Amino acid sequence: MSDTRKIAAILVADVVGYSRLAGTDEERILARLRALRSDLIDPTIAVHNGRVVKRTGDGSLIEFRSVVDAVRCAVEVQNGMVERNAGLTPERRIEFRVGIHLGDVVEESDGDLMGDGVNIAARLQGIAKPGAICLSEDAYRQVKAKLDLPALDLGATQLKNIAEPIRVYSLEVGGQERSVLPPVPDKPSIAVLAFNNMSGDAEQEYFSDGISEDIITDLSKLSELHVIARNSSFIYKHATISVPDMAKALGVRYVLEGSVRKAGNRVRVTAQLIDSSSGGHVWASRFDRDLSDIFAVQDELTQEIVTALKLKLTASEQDRLIPRRAVDVKAYELFLRGRELSWAATRTGNIAGRDLLERVLAIDPGYAAACALIAFTHVNDYSNGFSSDPEHSLRTGLDLAQRAVAMDEDEPTAHWALGVAYLWIRELDRAEAEVERGLALSPNSVEFLLLKAATQTFSGDPSGALETLDTSMQLDPHYPEITLQFLADARFSLGQYAQAIAAIEQRLARNPQSETAYALLASCYGHLGRLEESRQAWKRVLQINPGFSVERRRRILPFRNPEDFERRVEGLLKAGLKF
């Protein structure tokens, strides 16, 4: 019998953190998996006309007659797992990641499936969140009109070992909806969505994004308001999901949406404040102004939101919301583009962002936020090893951050950049002081909270860091992968190696090229006596970066107590690793 090529709906699933679960109690986890397969998974597959192609330990490859069948099966299983995990501590829950793709496969004579269709489904599974289902665009197209499910558009995504980027959609069902949804806080809460670019020029998107980010920054200064971070609210930029569902996922009551149309020297900004509990408009307005009045538009918009939500501002908050100084429009546009690049924190982003931000200062030498971000790019060059003269980069970053604070004592970004610089020169008390000043100016700032958590861990207070990270994740429910590294660092410092491994595995599911995550993973396994897993993790470190240096990290990581770093080295030594 010859091989057959065909188009098939492929589902790939695996257990989140299986190695961690099995390492704790392999016999128990295998027994639970067998029970789940017999009373939930296999019956559900049969009902939806699926065929189990093969199982590999904790993973499954399943073929369905249609994508609709595959998705319905996955949703039922994920929702079933919510009930089965109820009441269990996080370290005892079994959660699945699922990837679904419609594509070309080769069916071999023994019924096995091979080819790109299988590979893509496997990669989609690898980037899915626990309890979620990731679909390729080809698969999503088959179900979007047939299933009443909110889908999050993750955009074009480069999957490992897949040549071309693939547009990915996430159905966050099961545990994502019931156990991980953030609670709506007692005080007024708001998410500002990325304003739509109505300028007819895709290259102007940085401008509409920048307006939205500035509004978030302004609202974040208000202690009576719970403001979701840009990182989380901007995820819904291309999402086919209702405002109430977005609000539910972000843990807020109010959502601000709008649009920006920029033409010549004119700008039109529209905005609507929506109460997700009723779906009704609390407030809506339109601003038609000269482009030079864009700051005034932002100030008025913020004030109208404050009025609509009946917020009671302190005297200092009222002062911080007074109209800002005039800024050259060209300088502002360069700043928005430079800020976007510098936030990427990459070698190329640093260079390109720094160039634009230096052009800002050439136009407006008193632009404190631009000076602060230039400072950050230099410090980032130091901390990531991008610089040929790291000590010079660090000193330059410190000098520029101090200059930014001197320019404007009330500019939060200046204090943040100075806090980052103080952290890396091992002035931890000064770093902490800048964090506290920054949080007084901007209580909702996730950037300051992450800096505070890092400072606490390096200072020897990992328990405090965990509390800070919890607050940060409430403000940023779709937190970036680096948050998971900070979480793992704090857990490791507390000797909670299994919990640290769980956080690292989540980070690596998002970014399988993180050498620092694998290095910490190797040490965790070493401390737990899982020597072969430690060696495999260290092998991945050196595959990603053959020049990875433990000595360099000993030299630059600003631990107050050197023993805290040496505990990392100890884990590697326990595994017999050479470095």
Question: Are the beta carbons of 251 and 474 closer than 8 angstroms?
Answer: yes
| Angle in degrees, 0-180, between the axes of helices 481-493 and 462-475, rounded to the nearest 10 | 160
Give the CATH fold of the 189-324 domain. Answer: Rossmann fold (3.40.50)
Report residue 323: phi and psi, to 5°.
Answer: -55, 140
**Average pLDDT for the chain:** 89
Neighbouring C-beta atoms of residue 68, cutoff 10 Å = 16
Q: Given a cut of 50, is residue 193 above it in pLDDT?
A: yes
- What fold does the segment set 4-178 form as a domain? Alpha-Beta Plaits (3.30.70)
For the chain, what are the domain ranges? Answer: 4-178, 189-324, 327-432, 444-579
Query: What is the spatial distance between Cα 14 and Cα 277, in angstroms, rounded to a whole number?
Result: 36
Contact 219, 302 (CB under 8 A): yes
What Å distances lie between residue 273 and 29, 195, 237, 246, 334, CA to CA? 48, 12, 17, 14, 29
Q: What's the CA gap between 295 and 282, in Å, rounded?
A: 23
In this prediction, what percent of the chain has a pLDDT beyond 70?
A: 95
| Closest-CA residue to 486 (of 441, 519, 452, 526) | 452
Q: Lowest-confidence range among 145-159, 171-185, 485-499, 562-576?
A: 171-185
For the chain, how far is it from start to end, CA to CA, in angstroms? 52
Q: Which of 197-206, 331-340, 363-372, 402-411 has the lowest mean pLDDT?
A: 197-206
Q: What is the pLDDT of residues 269-307, one digit of tens each?
A: 999 999 998 888 899 999 999 988 888 888 889 899 999
The CATH number of domain 444-579, selected from 3.30.930.10, 1.25.40.10, 3.60.20.40, 3.30.1240.10: 1.25.40.10
| 132-136/166-172 β-pairing | antiparallel
d(CA 186, CA 55): 46
4-178 and 444-579 in the same fold: no
* Structural fold of domain 327-432: 1.25.40
Contacts of 442 (CB under 8 A, 6+ apart): 217, 220, 221, 412, 448
